[in-house]
Amino acid sequence: MTAGIDLGHPQAQAIQSDEDVVRVRQLVRTVAVAARLSLVDQTKLVTAASELARNTLVYGGGGVAEVTTVDNGRRRGIRIVFADDGPGIVDLDLALTDGYTTGGGLGLGLSGARRLVDEFDIVTGSGQGTRITVIKWSR
């Protein structure tokens, strides 16, 4: 995952309730607008953030989202880190398969979110919590 240089400090939003998922969406949108992402890219990023924030709440038992504007020298982008101390994901390949779900959803959260962003990195394991990092670059 290309790191890029951080522009400014990350803005954090705790994810402990339904309303917090809405707050994550609003925070991501504000930052995406400020970073001049195109309307479609904003929409994709906010949608991905919504899926991942809900996962953090439902499967991770709550956690935190950190939103940072980054610059890789050529383009500006937004990096969002979703971290929780939940049970972690045991079979990552299976979890990233379209349609697979353990929570009664559509099973599009992880796999769908991955398609909506430019970079997607996940660190997890049984009992280790989950840390998902995504980046969307401006076109």
Residue ranges binding another protein (CB under 8 A): 18-19, 21-22, 25-26, 29, 39-40, 42-44, 46-47, 50-51, 54, 98, 105-106, 108-109, 111-113, 115-116, 139
Query: Of 99 and 126, which CB lies nearer to another protein in the complex structure?
Result: 99
CB of 84 to another protein, least distance (A): 17
CB of 124 to another protein, least distance (A): 20
Element holding 47 (H helix, E strand): helix 39-58
CB of 41 to another protein, least distance (A): 9
Q: How far apart are CA 71 and CA 110, in angstroms?
A: 25
Give buried/exposed letters for 15-51 (b at 16+ CB in 10 A, else e): beeeebbebbbebbbebbeebebeeebbebbbbbbbb
Query: Of 44 and 131, which CB lies nearer to another protein in the complex structure?
Result: 44
CB of 85 to another protein, least distance (A): 22
Query: Of 101 and 123, which CB lies nearer to another protein in the complex structure?
Result: 101
Burial of 127 (0-12, 13-18, 19+ CB in 10 A): exposed
